[in-house]
Chain A
Amino acid sequence: MPMPFHIHVTVNKADQHHDVEPRLLLVHYLRDVCGLTGTHVGCETSLCGACTVLVDGKAVKSCTMFAVQADGSSVTTIEGLATNGQLHAVQQGFWECHGLQCGFCTPGMIMTSVALLARNAAPSREQIAEGLRGNLCRCTGYSHIIDAVNHAAKAVARG
């Protein structure tokens, strides 16, 4: 058995210290060790984006990163977006525009969209679609998801 590796990760602003197997993927660390099951496992093959979280502000597929690589980083999951019971603008956008049906892809869609809007506060529909190309949805046909992100961008701009 390999040596466990000690990691310190800030997850949704809370300090987490654990000894983990080096082969533990970040998505399983978040779900099984930290108990944050909002991050979903869709394909396990780096394609669907359901597992997307923010690591130091950047959207990454947490099924394609070892937890040990996140040592010393700050991770934000879907559970970390709302503040004081107030949905994040992107969450609100998905709510208002029916940006989901079964909801399986939604945490990943929202995390990727949050990072997208942080880079580009007023994206075009084409830029939203391109920004979400690493996130697959089997239900919505994407149109309402683009509406939702657009809605969020406009809501933030209005302040």
Chain B
Amino acid sequence: MFDEERVRRDFPLLWRKVHAKPLVYLDNASTTQKPQAVIDAITNYYTHHNANIHRGVHQLSDESTQLWNQARAVVAGFFGAEEDELILTRNTTESMNGIAYGWADHNLTKGDVILVSYMDHHSNLVVWQEAAKRTGAKVVFVNLTAEGEVDLHDLKEKLAEGNVKLLTLTYVSNTLGSVCPLQEIITLVDEQAKKGKIKPRIVVDGAQAAGHLPVDFSRLGVDFFSASGHKMLGPMGSGLLLVRKEILESGEMRPYFFGGGMIAAVSVEGTEFSSSLSDRFTPGTPDVASAVGLEAACNYLSALGMEAVLEHDQDLVAYALEQLQQIPEVELVGPLSVGSGSQLRRIGSVAFLYKGVHAHDVAQVLDSEGVAVRSGHHCTMPLHVYNDWVATTRASFQVYNTREEIDALVSALDKVKRIFKV
């Protein structure tokens, strides 16, 4: 594993105080802090290279274009994807909308099913409800097990109906922390396909997986993968969508934003879209600085090594589960063990109910101790309703978090007990 203290020195924001206490930032599932390398990459771009890409023959435009291409190559490589498979977006939500407008609208019709699950984030759910309205398809929910994992039995039954055209999976749940057994599910899907049933396209919401575990898109066996750069040490406004090349090349997925930059030729009669896949899905002037920042984030994580990042994460999650389970007022949600190897069960976060105190009040007291957590329903309302939780408090981790910070969380929870006299 790497030296956390050295890592912490790379993140200037972590040095500040909150309410005169050292900041304990445990809201990483919302967005992570940025290392100096990312901040510098953005500053450097604007200080020395800023110009529009592809448009000019002048030196700056060339430099900017090169930086853009290089950023795309590094980001794609980080996820084991080809450059042509990468669409840079602003966040996971925009990526999901891209799949909906670029793929679902052209490939779904009445009678088709979009299979989602109760743990899906609103951005991986509302998008499908809206796509269903436009296409006549139906959204069907897969159940969860008591420990908050996809119920494979129920999934199998619903796949067997034979009308599932799109299956969306949350790789790592932002509320339960549970890890989706992608390989097992893909095997289920393949078995159905062998029986002559239609094979659904598979969308993976990788928002909480990116920057937490190694991802190799070329071997994942899924069709679409969305993630947020800002949740993996990259800048705000950076996100990505990976689409299997074949789906783009065949025209099965079409451009969904139109205008300059994405065309081959425009005439009065109509437009031919660019034959370059990366251009076809880059309408208008892209956010080069964000791309360059995201590239720096990928390089930062690669230097730490994603295996080591995962190992560190698992150490923190296991420690947090162990510590929080000793507090009688705390009821954890999601799997209670981290698992291991190919059976990883939990990554990145721990969320809990605190007996007798609303999550907002818990979070407010924690904040007074410098501990930043998220409270509410974390954009998973159906999951909260499904389980009858009003709201949960979530602590989520990144490379710079330490066991001592989990201790700080635990002692701040003591204050919750004192103030509300539970």
Do chains A and B interact in one complex? Answer: no
Residues on B close to A: CB < 8 A?
Answer: none
